[in-house]
Amino acid sequence: MTSTEGLSVRFWGVRGSIASPGREMAGVGGNTSCVEVRAGDTAIVLDAGTGIRALGDQLLRERVPHVSLLLSHLHWDHIQGLPFFLPAWLPSSRLDVVGAPSTASPQIGLRESLSMQMQPPHFPVRLTDMGALLSFRQIESGQEIVIGDVTIMARRLNHPGGVMGYRLEAGGRSVVYATDTEHYACPDPYLVRLAKDADVLIYDAMYTEAEYRGEVGPSKVGWGHSTWEAGVAVADAARVGQLVLFHHDPQRTDREVAALEAQAGIVRPGTIAAREGLSIELAPRARARAAA
Ligand SMILES: [Zn+2]
Ligand SMILES: [Zn+2]
């Protein structure tokens, strides 16, 4: 069936590595990775960084009973909000978690990995205490799954322990989520293919190219992150509509993020930096091929 709904994207957490509150960061927001994608009644959440706490409150206000959570990977800044996601505690809710084990510890499954952050001495209550109907689904690189109105493609990208990039499609529109990914010497061909002709590419722009190469501070090569310059290269190679810079360095102030955004916008007009509260609405578009 072809969805008649487009996609709407809302950012709840846009920082990398660790939450960074503070007056100089407040415009961009200090919460770690969490992006909400809606298509009709389908509610998908990309990552459970600290931004997911406020999203949970909003979902409860809207009485959304069923949420699917796609995890890019299991690093703290992408899962630490989950224990504070109120819908997960309510028996009236259903939460389907989709992701992959870390390549650094493939024997530890998705559910077990998330349980490990919710146990003494680190946390007072356990994952098994959550009242919602929880399910855990492992996804493989190259796999395509359908959740409600949204078709999702997953592709493994470059990051220590592995990371999954996701392409979400509905109503002929598409959004690609590629956080925590390193570009090395050239645009990752797997990501270029995943992002081909996408309307929006959300991309790890934690560093500038000068910071990445060690011209400013220590070299960040091998740390698993990318730059806005590499984001522009991927977006151009994949002929993406709009590039959204994401996973901002926790030390980057509002003023500095705005400066990077302006620089990137000169090289690739229309490029924006993700900020908490930013929404992108993609109205449905007629598909080139008929629905099956
Ligand atoms: Zn991260
Ligand atoms: Zn990471």
Q: What's the 198 CA to ligand 2 centre distance in angstroms? A: 23
Answer yes or no: is 289 within a domain: no
pLDDT value, residue 186: 87
Q: What's the 78 CA to ligand 2 centre distance in angstroms? A: 7
Q: What is the mean pLDDT of residues 173-192?
A: 95
Q: What's the 99 CA to ligand 1 centre distance in angstroms? A: 15
User: What does pLDDT average to over the chain?
Assistant: 95
pLDDT value, residue 292: 44
Measured CA to CA, the distance from residue 138 to residue 251 in angstroms comes to: 34
Q: What's the 185 CA to ligand 1 centre distance in angstroms? A: 21
**Strand intervals (E) in the chain:** 7-13, 34-39, 42-46, 66-70, 94-99, 133-138, 144-147, 150-157, 163-170, 173-178, 200-204, 242-246, 272-273, 279-282
Q: Strands across the sheet with 272-273, in order?
A: 144-147, 150-157, 163-170, 173-178, 200-204, 242-246, 272-273
Q: What's the 71 CA to ligand 1 centre distance in angstroms? A: 11
| Domain range for 101 | 7-277
Q: What's the 16 CA to ligand 1 centre distance in angstroms? A: 5
**Which DSSP category does 86 fall into?**
G
Q: What's the 180 CA to ligand 1 centre distance in angstroms? A: 5
Answer yes or no: is 102 within a domain: yes
Q: What's the 105 CA to ligand 2 centre distance in angstroms? A: 14
Q: What's the 101 CA to ligand 2 centre distance in angstroms? A: 13
Most confident of 3-7, 43-47, 186-190: 43-47
Answer yes or no: is 238 within a domain: yes
Backbone angles phi, psi at 152, to 5 degrees: -125, 130
Report the percentage of the chain scoring pLDDT > 70. 96
The label of the residue with tokens 């969805």 reads: 3
Q: What per-residue string of b and e applies to 95-109 under the rule 16 or more CB within 10 Å gives b? A: bbbbbbbbeeeeeee
Taking the CA of 18 as reference, the closest ligand is 1
Answer yes or no: is 163 within a domain: yes
Taking the CA of 182 as reference, the closest ligand is 2
Per-residue model confidence as pLDDT tens digits over 250-274: 999 999 999 999 999 999 999 999 9
Q: What is the mean pLDDT of residues 205-227?
A: 96
Measured CA to CA, the distance from residue 108 to residue 26 in angstroms comes to: 36
Q: Is the pLDDT of residue 286 over 90?
A: no
CB 150 within 8 A of CB 176: no
More confident residue, 107 or 3: 107
Answer yes or no: is 292 within a domain: no
The dihedral through the CA atoms of 211, 276, 10, 269 has a sign that is: negative
CB 115 within 8 A of CB 136: no
pLDDT value, residue 59: 98
Taking the CA of 32 as reference, the closest ligand is 1
Per-residue model confidence as pLDDT tens digits over 142-168: 999 999 999 999 999 999 999 999 999
Answer yes or no: is 18 within a domain: yes
**Strand intervals (E) in 30-143:** 34-39, 42-46, 66-70, 94-99, 133-138
pLDDT value, residue 111: 97
Where residue 1 falls among pLDDT bands split at 50, 70, 90?
very low
Cβ within 8 Å of residue 200, ≥6 positions away: 9, 174, 175, 176, 240, 241, 242, 244, 280, 282
Shortest CA distance to 176 belongs to which of 194, 193, 149? 194
CB 68 within 8 A of CB 59: no
Shortest CA distance to 40 belongs to which of 171, 165, 177, 129? 171
pLDDT value, residue 141: 97
Q: What's the 22 CA to ligand 2 centre distance in angstroms? A: 23
Q: What's the 249 CA to ligand 1 centre distance in angstroms? A: 10
Shortest CA distance to 207 belongs to which of 198, 194, 216? 216
Where residue 22 falls among pLDDT bands split at 50, 70, 90?
very high
Helix (H/G/I), strand (E/B), else coil: 63: coil
pLDDT value, residue 34: 98
CATH assignment of the domain containing 238? 3.60.15.10
Answer yes or no: is 285 within a domain: no
Domain count, the chain: 1
Per-residue model confidence as pLDDT tens digits over 77-123: 999 999 999 999 999 999 999 999 999 999 999 999 999 999 999 99
pLDDT value, residue 291: 46
Q: What's the 179 CA to ligand 2 centre distance in angstroms? A: 8
pTM above 0.85, yes or no: yes
Where residue 5 falls among pLDDT bands split at 50, 70, 90?
confident
Answer yes or no: is 283 within a domain: no
Q: What is the mean pLDDT of residues 174-203?
A: 96
